[in-house]
Amino acid sequence: MYGARCSVLEVRGLSYGFGARRVGSDVTFALASGQTLAILGANGAGKTTLLRTVLGLLPPLGGSIAVGGTPIASLTPAARASQIAYVPQHHVPAYAFSVTDAVLMGRAGHVGTFARPGRVDRDAAADALATLGIAMLASRPVTELSGGERQLVMIARALAQRASIIVLDEPTASLDFGNRVRVLRELDRLRARGMTLLFSTHEPDQALAHADRALLLADGRPLALDAVGRALTAENIERLYGTPVRLVALDARRYACVPDEGDGR
């Protein structure tokens, strides 16, 4: 397990955006050790901007962000990397690095400016690849991988950081069905090991099946923040996306969100 259950990320009254342009405001949530929070919202709702602000890549326009009880603005880049890792939405490699070298980049915060990765760093990279079941790809160029394999490599890079939190921006965007299932299966395994995960998605089904809690953003402001079963009601999803839906029980624990044609055919 990745440590005892305690608060590892606190966001209070956060306003965020670019320069003077405010994208969202009044966002408050606390993420405990071992929890998974899904952020949902329509296109332009500010999900990516919120995540980049939580990561410390964009300065907040108001409010506060603390990681492990420490304001994120006071952390050095290396200290921030030891606490929180990032898997971006799209990753198109420009160079044919090997998978091992790509994962080793996650160790940058642990390696001195002019130093080379050592045994500990290489062991961390190998462990991350083994954890995700992709050790057989270690010597492959990242430019020759499928989209799903590349996404798993990016998750392995985040794991190699040995951070307490992993933030993923729409981790299954643009993936085919098989690769989407593969990535989500690996995220569930990380949840089972006690990792703390924060991810954005357009899919209510993904949040219902793969998260503990959900934050719904509408026009840059929270519409709901609760356990997934209470936040993702048909009414809230309709308000979020502007289309009628029904929640269909698949079994005692799983639901699917489907369009509700109703009388509007």
pTM of the model as a whole: 0.87
- Place 1 in a pLDDT band, splitting at 50, 70 and 90: very low
Angle of CA points 131, 135, 139, to nearest 5°: 145
Predicted confidence at residue 2, as pLDDT, reads: 39
Q: Mean per-residue pLDDT for 134-146? A: 91
**Cα–Cα dist 230/115, whole Å:** 49
And the tokens for 78? Answer: 């290396």
Domains and CATH numbers, the chain: 7-259 (3.40.50.300)
